[in-house]
Amino acid sequence: MGFTISVAQVLMTLSALAYVEDNAPTKHTPPPVLSVVAAALDAELSKKHYATQNQWAVSWGPIQYNPTRNLAFIAHKKGTNTYAIVLRGTVGSFVSFKEDIPTSKVAFGYGLPAKAKVSREFNHAFKGILATSDPTTGTLLSDYLASTALKSGTMNLYVTGHSQGAGLASMMTAWEHNQRPSWVGKNHAITNYTFAAPSSGNPAFANWINDNTQSYMVRNPLDIVPHGYASPNQVISQGIPSRVPLGWSVVVKVAAAISFATGPWAQPNTQMVLPKVPMDGKYLDQVDGQHNHNSYLYLLNAPQTDVGDASPLMKP
């Protein structure tokens, strides 16, 4: 099955709802307990005007790997064998921002060639997610998927995330392909939809994703994040999201030097490019606005969520 806009609208909505912690009264200091996040997720998923149309419910998680503040959950489309693993993007904490700065690459493993390498920081977070149990049931992600495959016989599984979560989603997809042979049943489908993804790893990893998975990398052409870490210099040469001020060009060049010091990076080939909608204002405000999860929903022609700021791309 190829790229479907209606599926993208639903999965981007689920990815946006993963940031529901942003609506908590205490914001990020300290983070709200997971029971509060779970209740907020349930409330958001019940809203019929979203692309999810009150047809999805959390069936595993949410979990949070506390050392890096990575949050994940599984949503189930009611009355079907369709599930989505949702990985949250960067939040406003030092450890979350630190995860976005690659210091080196490590072999991904899980049956992939030894030359397929990923960000050390992403790999640490990914392994932490796999090792974190649902706080209510005590079930690990791997056990939940195996059990669900057994019960369903044929599982239709999506993987999705926005920003940092999208970078992790491709790793999750590769891991699931390694796990799938052990699942009872047959014809379990795995499809990866990412939004605003930075590069997960090197060209060998990206090529493995290209050759072995059904993956769609959705990006806003005026968003700088998908240029990390393979093509940061294009932010300056192409003026993304607009002409880069001198001070910020220095920041971009430093970021490029840090990423290139770890060797080459690459994005998978299947890039789904959204319409280009410029905005006015200060450069950093443009950067934030173009990357905003609700901006991705706006560009997908989907209803925006009540989580976080509304998209500034929407004209009054």
**Average pLDDT of span 215-228:** 97
In this predicted structure, what is the pLDDT of residue 165?
Answer: 98
Residue 175 has pLDDT above 60, yes or no: yes
Q: How confident is the model at residue 236 (pLDDT cuts 50, 70, 90)?
A: very high
Task: Say how many CA atoms lie within 13 Å of 16 toward its Cβ.
Answer: 30
In this predicted structure, what is the pLDDT of residue 187?
Answer: 87
In this predicted structure, what is the pLDDT of residue 316?
Answer: 66
Residue 17 has pLDDT above 90, yes or no: yes
Name the CATH architecture for the domain at 5-299: 3-Layer(aba) Sandwich (3.40)
Mean pLDDT, the chain, integer: 94
**Average pLDDT of span 283-289:** 97
**Average pLDDT of span 172-195:** 95
**Average pLDDT of span 248-270:** 94
Question: Whole-model pTM above 0.85?
Answer: yes
* pLDDT tens digits, one per residue of 59-76: 999 999 989 999 999 999
